[in-house]
Amino acid sequence: MERFGVELKRARKPGRPRAIPAEMERVVVELYREGYGYRAIARILRQEYGLNPHYSSVRKTLIRLGEVKDNSTHENLS
């Protein structure tokens, strides 16, 4: 945005914090590699770590970290 020859920068407001903090991502990946599902991982995070993530937050975290392939595009429907 420019006004009177002076450029003004708009800073983004901070958003909602992640349901699974960055320091817990390693735990999520390790549990997934051990064979736990999304709901089981969410339950473990709730019972043992005091977090309260939805199972879809676990799924999104694993997709973002590249542990799970995102199949939501459904490109293979012929």
| The pLDDT of residue 10 | 73
The verdict on pTM exceeding 0.85 is no
- Written as tens digits, the pLDDT of the chain (78 aa) is 555 666 666 777 889 999 999 999 999 999 999 999 999 999 999 999 999 999 999 999 999 999 988 776 655 555
Side chain identity, residue 72: S
What are the extents of the domains in the chain?
20-66
Q: From 19, 23, 45, 21, select the one nearest 32 (Cα to Cα).
A: 45
Residue 63: burial class (beta carbons within 10 Å; 0-12, 13-18, 19+): middle
